[in-house]
Amino acid sequence: MKRRLILGLVVTLLAGMAAFAAGAVRANPSGLFISSQSCAADGTVDAFLNWTPDSSGQQFVDLTARNDNFSTAYATGGPFNVSLTRANLNRLQPSTTYYARVRTHIGSNILFSSTLAFTTMSCTGGGGSGGSSVSPPSNLQAAALSATSARFQWVPGNNNFFFCLDFARSVSDLLSLQGSWRNSGCGNTGNSHVVSNMTCGATYYARVWTAAGGGLYSARTQVTTFPCTSAISAPTNLQVVFETMTTARLDWAPGLDNRWFCVDTAKSRSDLLSYSGTWRNHACWTSASQVTVGGLTCDTLYYWRVYAWNPITNIHSDVSTFHTDDCDDTLVEAPIDDVDVEKVGSNYLATIVAVLSNECHSFASYQVQRSGNVVDITILNSVADEDPCAEVTDTYELTINLGSSFTPGVTYTVVVNDDESDAFLATP
């Protein structure tokens, strides 16, 4: 029997996700060790558990004070990211032996690490770090430098030897090390740090962590970045790089402060401007200024324009046109070289590298279908009726918007042409 959340298990460090080659032998989570311990103000112990992940499924950490191979009540933390390598075990009793393990869930299969036994430190007198003379950083101050950066400065505590700045868009994210939480400048030995790539006009909450005493935090502070500019100009120089029966590669020059783009197409100008009838949008949330639009009708005149926006405002380009090729090619499924899924804003984008087997092949179209936790994408190449075809292999890249309707905490798999796939864990 297990009892959830008896102890707080808090994510503190995410490692890069390891690629899992087809046919490779899976290794269980391994290498468990306690990297540090410290006494909390209430006399309990905080400890950091480290391990090497299997990197192929959601992870959980089990903890018990009974040496019974986890057959009776134990605490569980998770689910955690597939690549998590460190968790904080807090509110442990001092001078007590605990048993910990990490398990990885891959579908209906579960991989278990070996069990690690460790004994917590003594916290006689409460607080501190086992009697060492340490104290947390203090007097944390913050000042916005621009719409996307801020400077943080603090007074080091006793025996502080390096620092890391934590910041987040909410206090709860900051304290739980989740959601919008980020850290920056880790390993800094000074008493100040500038954070860049922040969101304009946003309020951030921050605190400084030091490695002293096994890990201590300063008090919190907050800062609001400069307001976002509302100035924006439309994309220009709309061009067609190439056309096939069912696709077109479109290119444009970004305007002032264009952050994201979406391409609108329609079979008439009125449909395009009224968002009705044959109107469709493509590649929304892309930050690239060239996209491949698929799913078009052969031998058809299309009207198109680019929608651009930033966190404050939005704008459309002028309208342009292109004409798809005649309806005389054969369609085949494209070989797939790579599939990657990432979250941009609130949407998940699949970036796919497909193959052109020879010079008679060109990208034609794609279709997206979803069933439960699986997203199936079909990518088609058109094959021109020419002979001979130069045997030159090439690749092209597509970015497909999968939308935002995914349940947080659930793992989804994106499969392309039944050839290559990638899995992602949906987040809030």
Last residue of a domain, one of 202, 224, 246: 224
Could you tell me if 366 and 258 lie in one domain?
no
Could you tell me if 337 and 301 lie in one domain?
no
Last residue of a domain, one of 224, 256, 279: 224
Answer whether residue 261 is part of any domain: yes
Task: Report residue 24's pLDDT band, with 50, 70 and 90 as the boundaries.
Answer: very low
Could you tell me if 339 and 417 lie in one domain?
yes
Average pLDDT along the chain: 82
Read off φ and ψ for residue 269, nearest 5 degrees.
Answer: -65, -40
Contact (CB, 8 A) for 192 and 218: no
Q: What count of residues does the chain have? A: 428
Last residue of a domain, one of 290, 323, 356: 323
Distance between CA atoms of 55 and 102, rounded to whole angstroms?
A: 12
At residue 412, the pLDDT reads 93
At residue 289, the pLDDT reads 93
Q: How many other CB atoms are found less than 10 A from the CB of residue 224?
A: 14
The pLDDT tens digits of the residues spanning 374-395 come to: 999 989 888 877 778 888 889 9
The pLDDT tens digits of the residues spanning 216-234 come to: 899 999 999 988 777 789 9
Could you tell me if 87 and 19 lie in one domain?
yes
At residue 42, the pLDDT reads 66
Distance between CA atoms of 97 and 94, rounded to whole angstroms?
A: 9
CA distance readout (Å), 112 to 15, 54, 100, 105, 141: 20, 10, 11, 9, 45
Which has more confidence, 130 or 22?
130
Does position 150 have pLDDT exceeding 50, yes or no?
yes
Q: Which residues contact 223 (CB under 8 A, 6 or more apart)?
A: 142, 143, 144, 150, 152, 203, 204, 206
Answer whether residue 148 is part of any domain: yes
Answer whether residue 231 is part of any domain: no
Q: What angle do CA 256, 262, 263 make, to 5 degrees?
A: 110
- Residue position matching structure tokens 């899924």: 341
CATH code, domain carrying 180: 2.60.40.10
Residue 84: domain span: 3-119
Does position 8 have pLDDT exceeding 50, yes or no?
no
Answer whether residue 303 is part of any domain: yes
Task: Report residue 240's pLDDT band, with 50, 70 and 90 as the boundaries.
Answer: very high
Could you tell me if 84 and 173 lie in one domain?
no
Answer whether residue 178 is part of any domain: yes
Say if residue 25 is exposed, middle or buried (CB neighbours under 10 Å; 0-12, 13-18, 19+): exposed
For the residues 334-363, what does the mean pLDDT come to? 89
Answer whether residue 129 is part of any domain: no
Answer whether residue 376 is part of any domain: yes
Task: Note if the bond before 29 is cis, omega within 30 degrees.
Answer: no
Distance between CA atoms of 176 and 384, rounded to whole angstroms?
A: 56
Number of domains composing the chain: 4
At residue 414, the pLDDT reads 94
